[in-house]
Structure 1
């Protein structure tokens, strides 16, 4: 505060793609400025988003970015999207109820292309499966208590083999969470650094959908966390927000793999919709804004449509 008037600061909006990063900055006087640079250029900078901010602020390559200069940074990114598409996520262990090791592979046995003679199954994201001797009934009855002792050995072996990320998905675990919590506690003691439980990640019915979401969270969250930490380290005092697949923003420290798959595309759709509404603000009240969006990046291309309101999908296949 200066003389009772809050000093204006910079604000930044960033689209961090797989090939290019676009930075839009709003100067304290309200003027918008932009900068475009390669997302990966390790000979010149550690991270493109931070380098772009420093460029617009006129800072040296190693100068700190502080809250005295910047009000906030809001970012959409395809880091998780591209890691999923290119299968570059964290090697993941799946721990599930005994007898259900192949449930996510079998899935719902849908045949979207009924007459194809050669069936190509989706590539699984987990590297290994451990079956836990446990079972809760659909109404919460204890059918088999979790055998923690028998689970310890295979978990330790997986850890010793180099796995650090684990997804825990038990039958009816979305509602009756005791066994998943016990397995998580054991994994923490062993040393796993990323532990995603189905009741904490996707507390919903449907074993396969819940399991897939939990696995993808365990698979992508470590990659995402490393990137978020990289950005935040260069501006620790600046409020940093990331776009989620839902089209809303979240604090950097709450940004999870399951919410980041469509982070970049969602930001593009929100921007497209707002731009269209402004462009067609003079349309007659009975007419509806209808726009097709085409967002082509270096790794993936996204097509969307907007017809006056956002349409929500609660299950998505990528």
Structure 2
């Protein structure tokens, strides 16, 4: 193998397990597998995996020891599937407060008379009294005081994240900038503005993507900052995006992270298949919280419009179908029928079979059926 200057790490941080592959300066490969959450043993599984490989103690890693850390994570994916993101406010042009809920009025099942709309990621709406025409002419300037009152009320109610999506704001950005400035003055910690998140025509897709970014970015940022702080500034840290490319930790945001972990799986699947002489392959990636299915026929399949966990998104990503079903998906009886997921037992407490007081999960069902052998459990 080629000689490299320092250690290189490739990490897949899932909801239940974290897998670490490391390459030493002399080309040797080594691996580690850890529970993603194990508070009695370590603060973060990815960082702990790096430390175990390097036999390093606590504190930032020495400069020059690690050449690169590249990571894919399902932190955003699982937060979306389990609806555990940051409570979010939607700021939208007056009269369009229910536009995202109405959506495109599509009927996924044509002959179903009772239409069930997906729950929205935002919990509160602030309608902004403003209007810009399609040609940029201003019908109504932003009502500064009214906007301030509406956003302050939301901030006082405890909301820290706001998604701003105004009609024609993708092209004529001045009004969105004004609203963002007010939100910043009021102390909102996450401000996602549609023309920055995705400057694309069509309010519904742009608005949904902006809401998803506001909903997921705080969760993602907390994790990225935690990992970056543990590794130290001297360690280059890159994250896999939904489109299959890498980005610096500081530029990693919610709307690009939804398929971060699954995208890494697709790239790995494709390269492994190529090395084995196959150019057509179907991927089935089942983890603890979700299952991802993908298709590769010689080139990566990408899309810019997708529905993930019932959420419409307009962002470049690999074509992956994700469902909230994994080994840790919780099995329960709701009074009428047996249900599986979308909630997951995660790494802590984990499935009942982990002997940590967890709930009944898909893993436990496989133990009872004899498909998993308890004698092989650690």
TM range (shorter): over 0.9
Q: CA deviation at 1:234?
A: 1.0
Q: Are 1:168 and 2:158 an aligned pair?
A: no
Which of 155, 158, 162 is equivalent to 1:159? 155
User: What's the counterpart of residue 226 of structure 2?
Assistant: 230
Distance in 2, matches of 1:151 and 1:178, equals 15
User: What's the counterpart of residue 17 of structure 1?
Assistant: 14
Distance in 1, matches of 2:280 and 2:117, equals 36
Q: Are 1:266 and 2:256 an aligned pair?
A: no
The 5 Å alignment of 1:196-211 reads 196-211=192-207
User: What's the counterpart of residue 70 of structure 2?
Assistant: 74
Q: CA deviation at 1:11?
A: 0.4
User: What's the counterpart of residue 111 of structure 1?
Assistant: 107
Q: Is the 8 A contact 1:66 1:235 kept in 2?
A: no
Distance in 1, matches of 2:75 and 2:248, equals 17
Q: CA deviation at 1:289?
A: 1.1
Cα shift readout 1:106-153 (whole Å, capped 9, x = no counterpart): 000000101113322111000100001000000101111011111111
Q: Is the 8 A contact 2:4 2:26 kept in 1?
A: no
Q: For the structure 1 residues 100 and 7, does the alpha-carbon distance in structure 2 shift closer, same or farther, using more than 3 Å as the test?
A: closer
Structure 1 runs of 4+ off > 4 angstroms? none
User: What's the counterpart of residue 252 of structure 2?
Assistant: 255
Q: How large is the Cα RMSD of the aligned pairs?
A: 1.1
Distance in 1, matches of 2:90 and 2:79, equals 19
User: What's the counterpart of residue 136 of structure 1?
Assistant: 132
Give 1 or 2: higher strand fraction.
2
SS in 2 for 1:139: coil
User: What's the counterpart of residue 283 of structure 1?
Assistant: none
Cα shift readout 1:219-246 (whole Å, capped 9, x = no counterpart): 0000000000000001121000000000
Q: Are 1:122 and 2:118 an aligned pair?
A: yes
Q: CA deviation at 1:65?
A: 1.6
Q: Are 1:45 and 2:42 an aligned pair?
A: yes
User: What's the counterpart of residue 298 of structure 1?
Assistant: 288
Q: CA deviation at 1:7?
A: 7.3
Q: CA deviation at 1:66?
A: 2.9
SS in 1 for 2:147: helix
SS in 2 for 1:210: helix
Name whichever of 149-158 and 245-254 sits farther off: 149-158
Q: Are 1:246 and 2:243 an aligned pair?
A: yes
Corresponding pairs, count? 305
Distance in 2, matches of 1:153 and 1:113, equals 41
User: Which protein, 1 or 2, shows the higher relative CO under an 8 Å CA cutoff with sep ≥ 6?
Assistant: 1
SS in 1 for 2:295: strand
Q: Is the 8 A contact 1:93 1:129 kept in 2?
A: yes
Distance in 2, matches of 1:77 and 1:190, equals 32
The 5 Å alignment of 1:21-40 reads 21-40=18-37
SS in 2 for 1:314: strand
Distance in 2, matches of 1:94 and 1:278, equals 47
Q: CA deviation at 1:8?
A: 2.3
Structure 1 unaligned residues grouped into runs of 5+: 1-5, 281-287
Distance in 1, matches of 2:63 and 2:92, equals 45
Distance in 2, matches of 1:17 and 1:242, equals 13
Distance in 2, matches of 1:14 and 1:66, equals 19
SS in 2 for 1:304: strand
Which of 299, 305, 309 is equivalent to 2:299? 309
- When normalised by structure 1's length, the TM-score is 0.94
- When normalised by structure 2's length, the TM-score is 0.79
